[in-house]
DNA sequence: GTTAGCACTCTCGGGTTGCGAGTGCTAATG
DNA sequence: CATTAGCACTCGCAACCCGAGAGTGCTAAC
């Protein structure tokens, strides 16, 4: 529905606006990007673009800025961009530098992503569809106070303090640990709950704690995510004055992001770009997101992405998100196959 | 050096400015707070206060605002305020509601503190002077990949993936876990390092991982802190326009806050109030902090406090910080005595 | 020591103006 | 018929001015 020239002009407008943050006019386009065509022609084409809803004029005279639809067209027309190889190597290197731990990787992914795109990055830690017990361990802290350590698949550690009515020695604890560890091995929460033969009162108490931890773990669809790069968004001109950034902050600090952000992602793979008002969440109507799932398909997954103003370097954001997601998927896969 | 009346006027100015955020003039004082004295007298006294450096006039005519020195006087003259009992009960209740876990408590402390004072709260998790091994556990994930789980005092869990040259069965792992757990019990990192008799190659590898984890743990003086309530500070009028808030964000997101914030706290107990330029860190020259240590004196400690604009409700901040710190200290003490 | 009065200063909001950038339209052009 | 040059017009933005309001410093009187 757009002629090739209209498409080109729209792309120029989007690119220019993304980098300059101020409306772009026909003369500027004609001057800076020498298409063999005068400003008047560009004006005509821009009028069509406005009719079609691809651009908006914030002031009756004065350049146009992309509408959500315009951004959408731009994003669809992007050719897949790749992160330069040397940068890839650097990133991958950093993951191998750091402590070998899932939480550490997740945090690092958020930090790197934020820096790569100069925007807010958000990364949830990976989560299995149904968590399974890998190991159970009890350690006595005081006479009747013990720490339950529960290792789930994907090397996820959970801990909880337990107080017993009776005094239990570390010896007994060890025996219990071994017994329950063997018994519960690779079970889901439901399966653990079903185990009920021949357990002592203390063991019963441990069992119910395990069940509870796993139920909680399975309940929340996504973990509370790591969020990095808030500083970047405060530097963006569209957010310095308005208070829409306040809503955004509240949204980010409120704990139920996972629930709100991710309904549509769940269904399908690939990198999703959500632009402005396409967001269901009010606080995000002024923002765009580039997000994707990562992990082992059907087994364990997490979500990772970038949030910024609509005026976002989509090409770079998409390739960054895709690459970091592939890195994280690899790391998780290594852990999960165990 | 200040007469009683001057002190009163200064206190009024500080209180008024804290709540209104705009310079306060002699007439307003005379009208709103009926001291039996006219605006002219107040003007004279304000002139003295300005000479003494307690207040500053941002514009040659137009009210005065407190200087750092003025705030300092105000803070010193505060009588100790207590959190209302019912609020105390509510807070304490919330700590007992939540999962029994140190990380959870720390996070909760940050969230509550932020809400109580409507400013940024910062809480590091408690840290022992020298960490000690409480328990060692190895779990096989894949043939030659295992997870080392290290439980330190204060129920702090550390984990690390280890790859062995040889295949080690879970049986062997259990034996190793028991042996090393017994051997390293209650040892510090240095002591573990010194243990070197009769260890197999695999055990040696585990040992050096333990040593490394503990060295790292002991090295960093304070953990990376939980930070909550960034949204509050964005709402403050003094931060909406300026870019000093940007510096602040960068500072908060950069990971070495601990190193920079806390040199002076270490020496002494009690709640510290640091006002504006009293901060060594440039990014904080526009801010005030109310911070304190918590934990078990000489054994284990963390830091917790509030950051906000100079124009901060000091009375409330101090009492909040003091109370939350006492709560956290209790919780930590329970764990530590084990 | 305190107060009333007064002239002066300064900020802040609103209105005005000139400039620059950009448009829409029309007529001319290839 | 698409394209272009030219031109009148519109609008935002920054600078400026102005008056009102708030507040001060000073002086003289109490």
pLDDT of residue B95: 93
Work out the burial of residue A237: count CB atoms within 10 Å of its CB; fewer than 13 is exposed, 13-18 middle, 19 or more buried: exposed
Whether the CB of B338 is below 8 Å from some CB of chain A: the reply is yes
| Pairing of the two strands B226-228 and B120-123 | antiparallel
* Residue of B140, B155, B159 lying closest to A101 (CB–CB): B159
B292 and B303 in contact (C-beta within 8 Å)?
A: yes
| Pairing of the two strands A145-152 and B127-128 | unpaired
State the average pLDDT over residues A172-196: 92
Question: Distance (Å, rounded) from C-alpha A103 to C-alpha A226?
Answer: 9
Work out the burial of residue A110: count CB atoms within 10 Å of its CB; fewer than 13 is exposed, 13-18 middle, 19 or more buried: buried
**pLDDT tens for each residue of B222-246:** 778 899 999 898 888 777 767 778 8
Residue nearest to nucleotide C5 (CA to C1'): B40
Average pLDDT, chain A: 88
> Token pair 């006027």 is at which residue?
B9
pLDDT of residue A335: 80
pLDDT of residue A260: 67
* pLDDT at residue B338 tops 60: no
End-to-end CA distance of chain A: 52
CB contact under 8 A, A147 and B159: no
CB contact under 8 A, A159 and B101: yes
pLDDT of residue A119: 96
Protein-proximal nucleotides of chain D (any atom < 7 Å from a CB): 3-6, 9-12, 21-27
Alpha-carbon torsion (A320, A106, A207, B141), positive or negative: positive
Whether the CB of B250 is below 8 Å from some CB of chain A: the reply is yes
**pLDDT tens for each residue of A120-130:** 999 998 888 88
Question: Distance (Å, rounded) from C-alpha A294 to C-alpha A124?
Answer: 10
- φ and ψ of A127, to 5 deg: -140, 135
Question: Distance (Å, rounded) from C-alpha A234 to C-alpha B248?
Answer: 11
pLDDT of residue B267: 64
Average pLDDT, chain B: 88
Closest CA to B266 of B303, B295, B216, B299: B303
pLDDT band at residue A27 using 50, 70 and 90 as cut-offs: confident
Residue in B with minimal Cα distance to A101 = B160
pLDDT of residue A338: 55
Q: List b or e across B4-29, with b for residues whose CB sees 16 or more CB atoms inside 10 angstroms.
A: eebbbbbbbbbbbbbeeeebbbbebb
CB contact under 8 A, A160 and B100: yes
Residues of chain A neighbouring B240 (CB-CB closer than 8 A): 241
**pLDDT tens for each residue of B88-130:** 999 999 998 887 788 889 999 999 999 999 999 999 988 888 8
**pLDDT tens for each residue of B142-195:** 888 899 999 998 888 899 989 998 898 888 999 999 999 999 999 999 999 998
Element (H, E) at A201: helix A201-219
A261 and A291 in contact (C-beta within 8 Å)?
A: yes
* Residue of A151, A250, A253 lying closest to B139 (CB–CB): A151
**pLDDT tens for each residue of B60-96:** 777 899 999 999 999 999 999 999 999 999 999 999 8
Q: How far is Cα of residue B122 from the mean position of the Cα atoms in its chain?
A: 4
State the average pLDDT over residues B264-278: 81
pLDDT of residue B318: 97
- List the structure tokens of B82: 């207590």
* pLDDT at residue B41 tops 70: yes
Nucleotide nearest B5 (Cα, C1'):
C1
Question: Distance (Å, rounded) from C-alpha B181 to C-alpha B173?
Answer: 12
pLDDT of residue B255: 65
Residues 185-214 of A with CB under 8 A from B: none
The size of the A-B interface in CB pairs under 8 A is: 91
pTM of the predicted model over 0.75? yes
Helix (H, G, I), strand (E, B) or coil at A289: strand
Question: Distance (Å, rounded) from C-alpha B90 to C-alpha B228?
Answer: 19
Task: Tell me the residue ranges of DSSP E strands in B173-324.
Answer: 226-228, 271-275, 287-296, 300-309
A224 and A125 in contact (C-beta within 8 Å)?
A: no
**pLDDT tens for each residue of A85-122:** 999 999 999 998 888 788 889 999 999 999 999 999 99
Instruction: Measure B162 CA to nearest chain A CA, in Å.
Output: 8
Whether the CB of B245 is below 8 Å from some CB of chain A: the reply is yes
- List the structure tokens of B313: 């409700």
- Taking residue A114's Cβ as centre, other Cβ atoms within 10 Å add up to 26
């Amino acid at each position: 529905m757009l002629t090739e020239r209209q498409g080109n002009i729209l792309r120029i407008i989007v690119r220019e606006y993304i980098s300059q943050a101020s409306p772009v006019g026909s003369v500027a386009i004609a001057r800076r990007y020498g298409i063999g065509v005068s400003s008047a022609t560009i004006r005509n084409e821009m009028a069509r673009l406005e009719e079609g809803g691809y651009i908006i004029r914030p002031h009756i005279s004065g350049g146009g800025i992309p509408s959500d639809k315009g951004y959408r067209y731009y994003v669809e027309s992007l050719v897949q961009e790749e992160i330069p190889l040397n940068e890839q190597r650097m990133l991958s290197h950093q993951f191998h530098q750091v402590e070998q731990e899932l939480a550490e990787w997740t945090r690092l992914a958020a930090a790197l992503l934020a820096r790569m795109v100069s925007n807010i990055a958000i990364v949830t830690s990976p989560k299995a569809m149904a968590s399974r017990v890998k190991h159970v361990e009890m350690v006595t802290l005081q006479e009747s106070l013990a720490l339950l350590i529960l290792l789930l698949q994907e090397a996820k550690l959970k801990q909880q303090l337990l107080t017993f009515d009776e005094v239990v020695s570390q010896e007994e604890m060890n025996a219990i640990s071994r017994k329950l560890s063997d018994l519960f091995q690779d079970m889901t929460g439901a399966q653990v709950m079903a185990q009920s033969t021949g357990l002592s009162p203390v063991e019963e108490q441990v069992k119910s704690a395990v069940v509870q931890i796993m139920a909680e773990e399975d309940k929340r669809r996504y973990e509370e995510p790591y969020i990095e790069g808030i500083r970047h968004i405060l530097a963006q001109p569209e957010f310095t004055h308005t208070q829409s950034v306040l809503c955004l902050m509240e949204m980010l600090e409120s704990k139920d992001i996972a629930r709100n952000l991710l309904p549509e992602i769940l269904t399908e793979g690939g990198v999703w770009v959500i632009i402005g008002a396409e967001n269901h969440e009010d606080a995000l109507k002024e923002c765009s997101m580039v997000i994707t799932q990562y992990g082992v398909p059907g087994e364990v997954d997490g979500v990772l992405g970038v949030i910024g103003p609509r005026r976002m370097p989509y090409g770079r954001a998409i390739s960054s998100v895709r690459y970091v997601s592939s890195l994280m998927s690899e790391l998780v896969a290594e852990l999960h196959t165990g």
